[in-house]
Structure 1
Amino acid sequence: MAHRADPLKSVRSSGIVAAVLALAFLEAAWLGWFLVEPLPNAGNVGGTVRRWMFLARALPQVVPGVRFDQSYLGLALQELGHLENLPQRVPIALAAALIAGGALALGRGLLRGLRLHHVLQPIERLPLAYGLGTTGLGLITLILGRLGALAPWSVRGGLGVLIAVELALTFRDSRRPPEGGDAEELAIRSLRSANSQSAGLPALMGLSLVTIGPFLLMMALGAMLPTIDFDAIEYHLQGPKEYFQAGRITFLPHNVYTSMPFSVEMLHLLGMEVLGDWWQGALVGQLLIAAYAPAAAVMIALTAGRLASTRAAVVAAIVYLTTPWIYRLGVLPYVEGPLCYYHAALIWSIARVWPVADPRIRAAFWGVIGGLAGGAMACKYPGLISAVLPLGALALVETIRRRSWRIVVGFVLGWAIVMTPWLAKNLIDTGNPVYPLANRVFGGRYWDQAREAKWTNAHGPKEIQVVALWDSIVDVAGRSDWQSPLYVALAPLALLRRGSRRASLMLWGYAFYLFATWWLLTHRLDRFWLPLLAPLAVLAGLGADWIRNRAWSALLGLLLFVAIVTNMAYSSTALTGFNEWTGDLMVLRRSIPEMLNPPLARLDAELPADAKALLVGQAAVFHFRHPIVYNTVFDHETIETLTRGRTPDEIALTLKEHGITHVYVDWFEIERYRSPGNYGFTSYVTPELFAGLVAAGVLDEPEPMGSRQQLFKVRVRKPRGG
């Protein structure tokens, strides 16, 4: 703890310089490998891409002849230069501020109800309230959405009421004398920790302002750009769009992903309701997701500061926020950004509650921990493994150690309040509370053995091989395109720091658990291991403070400089995320779909206003403006459901009943799904199927929409005897 007698200054200087020199050699070797290792996902730009290229051209004239406008700094400033388009972002930012204000009000109200408000410092309350509040807003949105009670003015009014009530309570509390006793002692202890000084702190604080600011600015502006990610336009945004257009949250049998916990996606739905527009509302949700990154960084810094020093806190926050992965999670509407936040908040909560003596405060804290673990699971099901189970086990340990049943009850109650509505939704819709998972355990409707086999083949655990394990270790350590070198450079040193080795061992144990469960129990998609970044960032902060002398401070400064400049240059490029930060949103609304899928964009532009298209083989449809019928690759193929076993007259009648006027077939996507190692696609859909429908007079002759895309118009058939 930072308020204890500093054990680092008592280390004898003999041998330290030699140790730092040896460490400098190891760090140089590590950075050398990191900078020359090819980026595995960047090869599609042409040629091999290595990180040293970004470092070399980050600033002008580092490489002779590289002008300012050719450097990555100059290119980034060009993308930030269209200031005339910033007013387009004002409605988005204001709507996000309204929702964030409602979330903070709800979270602060919860902390006040648990009587934790006076125990925590403002810097602790703010990020904690945001996480708890967004989780709460997700639950409220789910319940009201199921009732069909969401509407723009009611949502705006409800958020306004939450904010007004919290402001009134805050004003009331400010006029009351501070409470004493144990709460006062905890506040004093925390304040001492926050105010402790360490060697080189002024330089580190200045560095944090210079480095973190640009990352946050790029992140905020990038979040307010239309997304280009397949998963986002297939379900992260498409699900809320369908809920908004329907006026209620319903079961979507054609999009299995929308039956997952959708707590984060509720922020997009709220944005759509506040602005009354599904396209701009999605950008509101993206900006709210980006806000999880600084909230997580504060939690990480608070943890490192509590376990070590302010120097450790500052470095931990810098390491986390300058990681290209965190920038990427901020500009794309993935749920992993919020998931990382919940893991950071859980780590902070354990460090915060562990020394608490008051049994009432301790029980309330464990209720919050249960809610945070539930929030992680409400992001995505793997949160059960990464957050709920290990923290639940720790709650049991604490229950036995403290001989207090309130601890485990508080944890379970907090988790149940968050997750019960999401599980109940699936139970009502499908008969399986965790649909589409655990079908063999819970059974349920809609899911069959064929879909189970297809899902398991795509999302089930991969084969255990030593070579694959080593490749995964290397990927997580630094080969992953968006990883930072600072985790490996600093986190192992945490074990050398006197006074915090026990905490370091626990954090390393948790990190090992997260890696092992990701590798053994999932299909090893890289995004699934990202919760590792939270404990590793804390460890990096502790490692940065393993010793305090000038030699190490100089080496630390060099490590930070090289890594941060490289990460900033790389994050500013389109390899990390769409980076037209100040582009014209109205132009981008048209150009992004054309860039992502020209044939589909052409279809959307040319269809009559009253048309409704059935899409075959294509599910990345968020940007599509016309009414559509579609399905994801893991759902029953709609064209097969509507045509199999039916006569031409019956098929024509079925298409008419569904209002389908056109059928669009994306053979390129179908062939991609059928390629070796991919998800697979039903053999029922063939060119012969559509040729037969044309011959039977159900469809007109196809019109080519692209090299491998066809559009069939549904023929209007006269009734028999007419």
Structure 2
Amino acid sequence: MISFSLVIVCGAVATLLGSRLLSLFRTSPEGEGRLFYAYALGWGVFAYLVLVLGLFGGLYPVSVILILTLCFLLAIGKLKTLGKDLRAFVISLREGAREVLPVPLLLVTKILVALILLVSFVGAFAPPTNMDALNYHLAVPKLYLQTHTIVFLPTMLYSATPFASELINSLFMLIKGEVSAQLAQHLFGWALLFALFSLAKSRYGSKGGLLAVAGFLCLSSFIFVFSEPKNDMLITLFSLLAVWSLLSWNDSEKRSDLALVGVFAGLASGTKLFGLGVAFSLFAVLVVLMLLKRYRLSKISISLSVGLAFFSLFAFPWYLKSYLWSGNPVYPFFYGFFGGAHWNGILDYRVFQLGREAYLPVNFINLVISPWLVVNSGEIFLARTGVVFLAILPGLFLPRKLPQEIKILGWFSLIYYLLWFLFLRDARYLLPIIPPIAIICAFIILRLEGRSKLLKWLLMLTIMLGLGANLLTDLKVQVPKFPGVFGTVSEQEFYRDFRETERRDHTSGKLVEAFPEYEFSRKANELLFPDSKLAVFSLDQAFYYYFFDYPYVLALPMRQNLIDFASLRNEEEMSKRLRELGITHIATDVDLGGGIPDSSLLVTDSHFAPLLPGVNAFLSML
């Protein structure tokens, strides 16, 4: 519970800081809405503070604690406002519960939502198990913390990309550990759901709020990231608040609301690269709205400048950092246009161009059928969205005249979806438009009351079936983690016995240790020297290198060019290059058989072998 308490305290400080900053804009949603704006903005600023600390070599626990203390003292005057907003939020939840309890289907929906949230909450206390989390979202911050500095890691494919979420992970890993970082990301998911409820409730009442949350939780891919220390929850929260600000501007036409559109679009773009698609979609809809409002060109220019200025303020530093490190502001993407350090055209083709060939080809027919495919054919898009993505189809039976906010949500979702289909085509990256689609879904269900009870009931049953299926999925994902949550097994036993990854031997097909790297890394950490540096070699397979406590580079032939394997002609050149990089040992997950003399083994293990600088065995695998 110490980790959870730490996350709550830091969240309160972030909310106070965000509330202080929001007062400068002189506009924000009242009550509960302001609470989520302040919470998200405060965390976005914290990410920047950690970035500044890291760039100047200040990633120490005392530095982070000092920053948190100063932020609290600066914003302590907002304690009363925070308490008022919290009370408003609790009252809103109570009123919503009373309103929906008498309705049987809504009551069942509410129970299913509560069970999914409870199971996911418990699972968030377990040691991290997700491959992306252990190899990226936690692994890169851990390397930063080893040197107390944020530097370019050229063998970590995405280490130069926007990193707000991962720097928040760094903050918690400095103070407490990776579980606290995981809980922080999990609570961003709760904030996202509560913000979605509040936005839908402000437009369509408590029923609309519950239906929007239920529709969102039908999203299959969300279940797999909700309890992991990944950046999906944070970017979706920022995106939703940017959309909320756009709706507020449509009502008020205040430039301060435009500024908030830019702020949260910038924060989304500072969390993940596809946040740029969120920003483009928002500003495209903004231009359409200003044209519909018959703005003059001069007024359009001024209004856009306000939004873009705040967007640049919050997004530009991440892309400037990437450019200064690699020569490419969106490294490692668009190599053919920007270039990039320690990268080349062959790697670009292997990693991105060749990978895209496995996706659905881009053409008009596939675009038309893609909403159906993204629900039913997860292997094409690497994940499924769930039934909510098709839940707007009954809207075809409604009159053409729709509220302006529904049109805005639809336009934003459509523009982003087109960008997604052209450039991404990974179902996880649809997350930013699922909250708007869920609100549209809730609106349709409510509008069907008194018009088509059959369609309404069918849609409600579809959502409940989606929730039920995701509850079963959630139980399958989270229950195996419970021994690690409740301490009935040691961490070593947890990683040894955890089977969610279902790793199998390539030859026999039998299940192997879920995380053999854990025990292997423990042995290596005990036997390596303080000045050791590893090169981790894998034939582009899953390798959980998070557990190493020493600096390392990833010697992956298919994903980096710091070690240019194609140019190395013999063992001497290989040895020279490794020594130039300060490499003292090599670790590989490939069975090298009898090719390694026993005298060169640092550790003998059934799965892995870190080697001394004799690189002959390493070369023999290329």
| Partner in structure 1 of residue 590 of structure 2 | 667
For 1:173 and 1:337, locate their aligned partners in 2 and report how far apart those are by CA, in whole Å.
23
For 2:269 and 2:241, locate their aligned partners in 1 and report how far apart those are by CA, in whole Å.
14
The 1:201–1:508 alpha-carbon spacing in structure 2 relative to 1, beyond 3 Å, is farther
For 2:100 and 2:181, locate their aligned partners in 1 and report how far apart those are by CA, in whole Å.
39
Shift of 1:406: 4.0
Would you say 1:224 and 2:224 are equivalent positions?
no
Would you say 1:97 and 2:97 are equivalent positions?
no
Higher mean alpha-carbon deviation, 469-478 vs 198-207, is at 198-207
Q: Select the residue among 388, 402, 412 that pairs with 2:279.
A: 388
Shift of 1:577: 8.5
Amino acid at match of 2:195: M
Structural mapping, 1:561-600, within 5 Å:
561-574=464-477, 578=481, 580=483, 582-584=485-487, 587-588=490-491, 591-592=494-495, 595=498, 599-600=516-517
Check whether the contact 2:336–2:345 (CA below 8 A) recurs between aligned residues: no
The count of corresponding residues between Structure 1 and Structure 2 is 573
| Partner in structure 2 of residue 636 of structure 1 | 561
Shift of 1:267: 1.2
Amino acid at match of 2:284: A
Check whether the contact 2:495–2:518 (CA below 8 A) recurs between aligned residues: no
Check whether the contact 1:497–1:546 (CA below 8 A) recurs between aligned residues: no
Structural mapping, 1:274-293, within 5 Å:
274-275=175-176, 280=177, 282-293=178-189
Would you say 1:477 and 2:372 are equivalent positions?
no
SS at match of 1:705: coil
Structural mapping, 1:403-442, within 5 Å:
403=296, 404=299, 405-442=301-338
Per-residue CA deviation, residues 647-682 of structure 1 (Å, 9 max, x unaligned), is 64x8667756766453233237xxxxxxxxxxxxxx
For 1:492 and 1:134, locate their aligned partners in 2 and report how far apart those are by CA, in whole Å.
38
Shift of 1:436: 1.6
For 1:700 and 1:174, locate their aligned partners in 2 and report how far apart those are by CA, in whole Å.
63
Per-residue CA deviation, residues 480-519 of structure 1 (Å, 9 max, x unaligned), is 4764435534663386278745543443333333332222
Q: Select the residue among 328, 335, 339 that pairs with 2:235.
A: 339
Q: Provide structure 2 residue ranges, at least 5 long, that are not aligned to the other structure.
A: 499-512, 616-622
Shift of 1:556: 6.3
Per-residue CA deviation, residues 373-417 of structure 1 (Å, 9 max, x unaligned), is 1122122212212x1112122333455544434421221111111
Amino acid at match of 1:392: F
Amino acid at match of 1:112: S
Q: CA RMSD in A?
A: 3.9
Shift of 1:240: 0.6
Would you say 1:312 and 2:208 are equivalent positions?
yes
For 1:434 and 1:148, locate their aligned partners in 2 and report how far apart those are by CA, in whole Å.
24
Structural mapping, 1:259-298, within 5 Å:
259-275=160-176, 280=177, 282-298=178-194
| Partner in structure 1 of residue 74 of structure 2 | 165
Per-residue CA deviation, residues 280-332 of structure 1 (Å, 9 max, x unaligned), is 2x222222222222322233334433443432222112222454433322112
The 1:353–1:603 alpha-carbon spacing in structure 2 relative to 1, beyond 3 Å, is same
- TM-score (norm: length of structure 1): 0.70
Amino acid at match of 2:409: L
SS at match of 1:615: strand
The 1:460–1:260 alpha-carbon spacing in structure 2 relative to 1, beyond 3 Å, is farther
Q: Select the residue among 85, 93, 113 that pairs with 1:212.
A: 113
Higher mean alpha-carbon deviation, 339-348 vs 395-404, is at 395-404
Q: Select the residue among 38, 47, 54 that pairs with 1:145.
A: 54
Would you say 1:509 and 2:411 are equivalent positions?
yes
| Partner in structure 2 of residue 712 of structure 1 | 611
Q: Select the residue among 376, 400, 403 that pairs with 2:268.
A: 376
For 1:174 and 1:659, locate their aligned partners in 2 and report how far apart those are by CA, in whole Å.
54
Higher mean alpha-carbon deviation, 146-155 vs 498-507, is at 498-507
Q: Provide structure 1 residue ranges, at least 5 long, that are not aligned to the other structure.
A: 1-89, 176-186, 669-686, 717-722
The 1:128–1:199 alpha-carbon spacing in structure 2 relative to 1, beyond 3 Å, is closer
Q: Select the residue among 515, 522, 528 that pairs with 1:610.
A: 528
Amino acid at match of 2:612: K
The 1:593–1:615 alpha-carbon spacing in structure 2 relative to 1, beyond 3 Å, is farther
The 1:427–1:297 alpha-carbon spacing in structure 2 relative to 1, beyond 3 Å, is same
Q: Select the residue among 545, 549, 568 that pairs with 1:625.
A: 549
The 1:655–1:610 alpha-carbon spacing in structure 2 relative to 1, beyond 3 Å, is same
For 2:368 and 2:226, locate their aligned partners in 1 and report how far apart those are by CA, in whole Å.
29
Per-residue CA deviation, residues 33-59 of structure 1 (Å, 9 max, x unaligned), is xxxxxxxxxxxxxxxxxxxxxxxxxxx
Amino acid at match of 2:590: W
Per-residue CA deviation, residues 524-575 of structure 1 (Å, 9 max, x unaligned), is 2221223331221011110120133595676666555444333322321128
Q: Percent identity?
A: 20
The 1:666–1:639 alpha-carbon spacing in structure 2 relative to 1, beyond 3 Å, is farther
For 2:201 and 2:31, locate their aligned partners in 1 and report how far apart those are by CA, in whole Å.
15
SS at match of 1:367: helix
| Partner in structure 2 of residue 455 of structure 1 | 351
For 2:265 and 2:183, locate their aligned partners in 1 and report how far apart those are by CA, in whole Å.
23
Check whether the contact 1:663–1:714 (CA below 8 A) recurs between aligned residues: yes
For 1:267 and 1:141, locate their aligned partners in 2 and report how far apart those are by CA, in whole Å.
8
SS at match of 2:430: helix
| Partner in structure 2 of residue 546 of structure 1 | 447
The higher radius of gyration belongs to 1
SS at match of 2:449: coil
For 2:80 and 2:602, locate their aligned partners in 1 and report how far apart those are by CA, in whole Å.
67
Shift of 1:210: 3.0
Shift of 1:369: 0.5
The 1:702–1:304 alpha-carbon spacing in structure 2 relative to 1, beyond 3 Å, is closer
For 1:464 and 1:421, locate their aligned partners in 2 and report how far apart those are by CA, in whole Å.
33
Check whether the contact 1:491–1:542 (CA below 8 A) recurs between aligned residues: no
Check whether the contact 1:491–1:541 (CA below 8 A) recurs between aligned residues: no
Amino acid at match of 1:605: R
Check whether the contact 1:254–1:635 (CA below 8 A) recurs between aligned residues: yes
SS at match of 2:332: coil
| Partner in structure 2 of residue 238 of structure 1 | 139
SS at match of 1:291: helix
For 1:454 and 1:394, locate their aligned partners in 2 and report how far apart those are by CA, in whole Å.
35
For 2:232 and 2:159, locate their aligned partners in 1 and report how far apart those are by CA, in whole Å.
16
Would you say 1:109 and 2:20 are equivalent positions?
yes
For 2:82 and 2:471, locate their aligned partners in 1 and report how far apart those are by CA, in whole Å.
42
Check whether the contact 2:18–2:37 (CA below 8 A) recurs between aligned residues: yes
The 1:465–1:352 alpha-carbon spacing in structure 2 relative to 1, beyond 3 Å, is closer
Shift of 1:646: 6.8
Check whether the contact 2:161–2:319 (CA below 8 A) recurs between aligned residues: no
| Partner in structure 1 of residue 518 of structure 2 | 601
Per-residue CA deviation, residues 396-450 of structure 1 (Å, 9 max, x unaligned), is 3455544434421221111111112111211221222222223333334333222
- TM-score (norm: length of structure 2): 0.80
For 1:333 and 1:585, locate their aligned partners in 2 and report how far apart those are by CA, in whole Å.
23
Higher mean alpha-carbon deviation, 164-173 vs 317-326, is at 164-173
Per-residue CA deviation, residues 445-477 of structure 1 (Å, 9 max, x unaligned), is 333222222233245575336785577433333
The 1:530–1:589 alpha-carbon spacing in structure 2 relative to 1, beyond 3 Å, is farther
Check whether the contact 1:494–1:546 (CA below 8 A) recurs between aligned residues: no
For 1:301 and 1:576, locate their aligned partners in 2 and report how far apart those are by CA, in whole Å.
27
The 1:622–1:147 alpha-carbon spacing in structure 2 relative to 1, beyond 3 Å, is same
The 1:367–1:589 alpha-carbon spacing in structure 2 relative to 1, beyond 3 Å, is farther
